[in-house]
Amino acid sequence: MAERTKRKSSFVKQAAILATAGILVRFLGFVYRVPLTNMIGDRGNGIYSAGYYIYTFLLILSSAGLPAAISKMVSERIAVKEYRNAHRVFQSALIVSGSLGLLFAVSLSIFGRQIAVFANAPESYYCILTLSPTIFIVAVMSAYRGYFQGMNTMVPTAISQIVEQIFNAFFSVYLAYVLLSYGVSAGEKNISMGAAGGTAGTGIGAAAGLLVVLFSYFLIRPTIRKKMRRCHQSFEESRADTAIELLKTAWPIIAGTAVFSITNLIDMNMVTRILENTGYTHDGAMDLYGQLSGKYVTLTTLPVSISTALATAALPSIAASVKLREYKQVRRKMNLTFRISMIISVPAAVGIGVLGGPIIHLLFPLASEGGALLTVGAISILFLALCQTATGILQGIGHIKIPVVGAVLGAIAKVILNYLLIGIPQLNVLGAVLSTTGCYLVAAVFDVIMLSRITGVRFDMMGTFLKPIAGATAMGVTALAAYHVMMMLYPNNALATIIAVFFAMGIYAMVMLLIGGIVEEDLNSLPMGRKIVGLLNQFHLI
């Protein structure tokens, strides 16, 4: 029993390390988009996003789902001390992911121009070209990361993710700055090349991350070889068998992720074409698409990625309780996971909704259009967080096909709503925002209903939804009032927005503590949660 408790504690600790790294990585990824957007503008964002979404889709097909599948298969074999078979899984994964990555990388480099034209974004060709080798680099890196995670060693993955994003952030901004003046007269901007500079940083970051995992692997390789020599296995698995099992395990995760990636491709094609058919020039349509992809998507997915990264720290514990048939613990942990996700996502939706315009002006003073997209579409944060949290739990308890169905239903809803809404002149690109909200709503409702049926869990509506909504309502009113009062006293948008945000955060935390919306169990489940609890206990706040 003591060994099981120690192992479970170690597993959760390792997941918390990965979650913490994930939060930092997503924050760094958001930070560098701010100067990049101010340099290349909305049109540059549209060009950047068109190339990046094509790259992301092919990357998902080559390697998404593989780290999770490799981790599962490796951990199962290590649990019964089949170290040679565990290493055979890694070798098979390296061949599969490397081959797929190379195939898509070469295809993208050869057919990049045709793909860009088909996507109605011919300017994105150079972005596609700079991103093509990155597919192979990331595919190889995913095999190493999955192997480390299967050995319950998250530190190499966490360090490589952070290093990758630091290099990505620096070189994306630097190369965009350098290439903006490429081939044009003084004072002019080469937006297409500037956007390509931004995407080139992604490949440099991935290469840096790969070097970290390679170095980590060579450090632990002697230990791995020693365990392989000493282990006694009843049989040796073939590479072909492990490759087939790997693909069978990974494909539902790949399919589910690919469907949501397809929704980005749908927007990329439909938004610009429909807008052009309603009277916009191509450049005007790309400007609006850039606001959608570079501002709305970037700002609304940031809090979701943070909330789901935190919630993910609880998933190994849920999976362990399912394995041990501790159904009472499963229900408790599931409610805890959803509560953590909503405690972060609900106030983020309200805050971004009421301060959409001021936030855009604060972050992008040189490209300040698009605040209305945040005001209208902030509610999508709530539905996306629900969807991703439910998806994570479903995958964690072995029901990996259900999120695929939910994602397909959401994508169908998005296509229909895009056709109906974007062509309305009063809405234009706001129609894509509304269709995105509808997509996430449909997928979230389906996933949550199916999760409830499978587990028999009755969700804690008060703690998960009503209390965060109450705290966020008070926060939203405070934020709006603080902003307008500051603008009357000292009309400076940056200062007023920052003060309003800090006031809002304080009010939300205070209200949630007063009404019991945040309890000690919530905080203890977070990275560094015990230190936060200790600090609050000193002031008798919890």
The CA distance from 195 to 397, in Å, is 41
3-state helix, strand, coil in the chain (%, to 5): 85, 0, 15
Mean pLDDT of 127-141: 95
Convert the pLDDT of each residue in 344-374 to its tens digit. Answer: 899 999 999 999 999 999 999 988 899 999 9
In a shared domain, residues 524 and 392:
yes
Quote the pLDDT of residue 13.
Answer: 61
| 274 shares its domain with 372 | yes
Please give the average per-residue pLDDT across 466-485, as a whole number.
Answer: 95
- Asked whether residue 5 is domain-assigned, the answer is no
Q: What are phi and psi of 284, to 5 degrees?
A: -65, -40
Task: Tell whether 192 and 320 lie within a shared domain.
Answer: no
Shared domain for 191 and 102, answered yes or no, is yes
Residues 202 and 279 in one domain: no
List, for residues 391-409, the tens digit of each pLDDT value: 888 877 778 789 889 988 9
Q: How many whole angstroms separate alpha carbon 418 and alpha carbon 271?
A: 8
What does the pLDDT look like over 305-326, one tens digit per residue? 877 776 565 665 666 677 667 7
Residue 288 sits in the same domain as residue 431: yes
pLDDT of residue 528: 60
Mean of pLDDT values over 412-441: 94
Question: DSSP letter at 122?
Answer: G
> Per the domain annotation, does 246 fall within a domain?
no
Same domain, 283 and 178: no
One DSSP character per residue, 62-108 reads HHTTHHHHHHHHHHHHHHTT-HHHHHHHHHHHHHHHHHHHHHHHHHH
The pLDDT value given to residue 538: 63
Residues 476 and 524 in one domain: yes
Residue 79 vs residue 339, higher pLDDT: 339
For residue 49 the two structure tokens come to 């996003």
* Percent above pLDDT 90 for the chain: 53
* 229, part of any domain: yes
Q: How confident is the model at residue 1 (pLDDT cuts 50, 70, 90)?
A: very low
The lowest-confidence range among 101-110, 126-135, 143-152, 379-388 is: 143-152
Give dist(CA 329, CA 324) in Å, integer.
Answer: 10
In this structure, are 131 and 155 located in the same domain? yes
Whether residue 197 sits in one domain with residue 53: yes
477/337 same-domain check: yes
Question: Considering its fold, how many domains does the chain have in total?
Answer: 2
Tell me what the mean pLDDT of segment 88-114 comes to. Answer: 93
Residue count (the chain)? 542
Q: What is the DSSP code (8-state) at residue 295?
A: I
Q: What is the CA angle 65-172-212, rounded to 5? A: 50
One domain for residues 84 and 172:
yes
In a domain, 7, yes or no: no
pLDDT tens profile 48-95: 999 999 999 998 888 877 887 888 788 888 877 888 888 898 999 999
CA 489 → CA 360, 363, 472, distances in Å?
21, 22, 25
Structural domain contains residue 264: yes
Residue 299 has pLDDT above 70, yes or no: yes
Domain hosting residue 45, numbered range = 12-237
Please tell me the distance from the alpha carbon of residue 47 to that of residue 116, in angstroms, as a whole number.
10
In a domain, 342, yes or no: yes
Residue 6 lies in a domain: no
